[in-house]
Amino acid sequence: MSIAEHIRDVEERIAGAAFRAGRNPREISLIAVTKTVPPDRIREAYDAGVRLFGENRVQEFATKAQALADLKGTEWHMIGHLQSNKARAATELFHAVDSVDSLRLLERLNNVAKELGKRIPVLIEINIGGEQAKSGVGPDSSEFERMLAASPSCEHLQIHGLMTVPPYNDDPEQSRPYFRRMGALRDEISSRKLPAVQLVTLSMGMSHDFEVAIEEGSTCVRVGTAIFGVRPKAGT
């Protein structure tokens, strides 16, 4: 199958999951994850109608950005772990940062955006499974509460949602409790009506589990393998 055919298949699966959940498929955004994907294959996805793309590493995207600068109407999202010392480069390169995982990073991005005269949409990354090897703040952590409390002072950021990567399991049904908890967390935070926090986006679900994520309320799925195939291993 071509990349265009893979995209149509993913879009059909998104629609099917949405209908099963009684939702409108138009409520759900598709981000094509382009980690290790060369520019020519990214162009194929663009030609097939994709406009939202996600990259995991600042340095990798910096090498692609110029080659893809002519793709009009695209949005590039930083979806991988971002170190504070790369906040400036990320703010210059990306339209949005979907993986803010600390108060320090939140404040650093705000300061850089202010200097650059920008207002950057961001998502707070939640480590919903409490995995030590993964980034993100705990859903019940004091760090998360401090980030929410600091939101009004971050005038150059638009905090509009949450992102998560649950513990991996070959069976997507094993992800359902984590996705369900994320939906409940989003609803609980939204009910507080906190200033400068509008949790309209719930980014969860990848190639192997995005249908379950949609059934549990995801508004944005991040799909790489199901579009571009298995990524090559490092050094190959």
Query: pLDDT by residue (tens digit) across 147-200?
Result: 999 999 999 999 999 999 999 999 999 999 999 999 999 999 999 999 899 899
Name the pLDDT band for 236 (thresholds 50, 70, 90): very low
In terms of Cβ atoms closer than 10 Å to its own Cβ (0-12, 13-18, 19+), residue 82 is: buried
Q: Is the pLDDT of residue 234 over 60?
A: no
Helix axes 103-116, 142-150, angle to 10 degrees: 20
Q: Provide the domain count of the chain.
A: 1
The predicted model scores a pTM of 0.95
Segments forming the whole domain that contains residue 90: 3-228
Examine residue 236 and state whether it is found in any structural domain, yes or no: no
pLDDT in tens, 68-85: 999 999 999 999 999 999
Examine residue 122 and state whether it is found in any structural domain, yes or no: yes
End-to-end CA distance of the chain: 23
Q: Is residue 54 within 8 Å of residue 31, measured between CB atoms? A: yes
Examine residue 104 and state whether it is found in any structural domain, yes or no: yes
Name the pLDDT band for 230 (thresholds 50, 70, 90): confident
Both structure tokens of 115 = 């200097």
pLDDT in tens, 37-74: 999 999 999 999 999 999 999 999 999 999 999 999 99
The domain spanning residue 20 has which CATH number? 3.20.20.10
Examine residue 235 and state whether it is found in any structural domain, yes or no: no
Output DSSP code: residue 210.
H
- Given the structure tokens 């069976």, which residue do they identify? 171
Examine residue 96 and state whether it is found in any structural domain, yes or no: yes
Return phi, psi of residue 38, to 5°: -75, 160
Q: Is residue 157 within 8 Å of residue 110, measured between CB atoms? A: yes
Both structure tokens of 116 = 């650059």
